[in-house]
Amino acid sequence: MKQTSLLCLVAGVLTLAGCSSTPTRVDKGPIPARSFSFIDPGARSAPGFADSRQPVHAAIQEAITRNLAAKGLTRAVSGGDIIVAYLIVVGNNASTAAVDDYFGYGRDAASLQEKAQAAYSGSKNPNYFEAGTLVVDVIDAKSYKLLWRGHASRQLLRSLPADVRAARLQEVVNEILQEVRFSPK
């Protein structure tokens, strides 16, 4: 019960926070596209103390690719009709961290992280919890305009078997992308 109320609270606060200048939801109607690519993070070397995020990125990209393939889109290494960007925000009652490797530059990642922090810390739940939010953007590959944005939040669960973790991630991605519509180009 506490988990359900926490998730409802986080989703509600993020939705209400969408009324400010950085929208948490964007939908400009059907998107003409047949292919997509992910943000190119460029060649960056992680500092020695950084954890390995590549398996997490691979799992997220696989889940997004599966969902978009079911909608008729083909993944391109680069140069797709649209660019898919995503932001991961993880946090607890006191602090958050954003993983923006595949979100791109010059965008509103910090503002979205602040909204997630407000949602996480605004809970009346006195118990410690950890939550994660995944924000997915669909960007026009020519104009770089934001065409669609969606997000979902979940309580973070540690030590899940790999198959359960993958199924849970696919469920989150499917929830986020359930309303995005594509039309043939």
**pLDDT given at position 33:** 94
E runs forming strands in the chain: 26-27, 31-32, 35-38, 74-75, 82-92, 96-99, 130-140, 146-155, 182-183
All structural domains of the chain with their residue ranges = 2-41+49-183
Mean pLDDT of 94-109: 86
Residue 52 pLDDT > 80, yes or no? no
CA atoms 20, 21, 24, 26: torsion sign: positive
Lowest mean pLDDT among 2-6, 18-22, 103-107, 121-125: 2-6
pLDDT computed for residue 165 by the predictor: 93
- Per CATH, the number for 2-41+49-183 is 3.30.160
C-beta separation of 25 from 151 below 8 A: yes
Per-residue HEC secondary structure of 131-162 comes to EEEEEEEEEECCCCCEEEEEEEEEECCCCCCH
**Contact at 8 Å (CB) between 90 and 112?**
no
Average pLDDT over residues 74-87: 94
- The pLDDT assigned to 18 comes to 43
- Predicted TM-score (pTM) of the model is 0.80
Comparing CA positions, the residue from 60, 66, 67 lying closest to residue 85 is 60
Max CA pair span of the chain:
50
The answer to whether residue 1 scores a pLDDT higher than 80 is no
Q: 173 — phi, psi (to 5°)?
A: -60, -45
Helices 54-70 and 162-177: crossing angle, nearest 10°? 50
Asked if the model's pLDDT at residue 35 lies above 60, the reply is yes
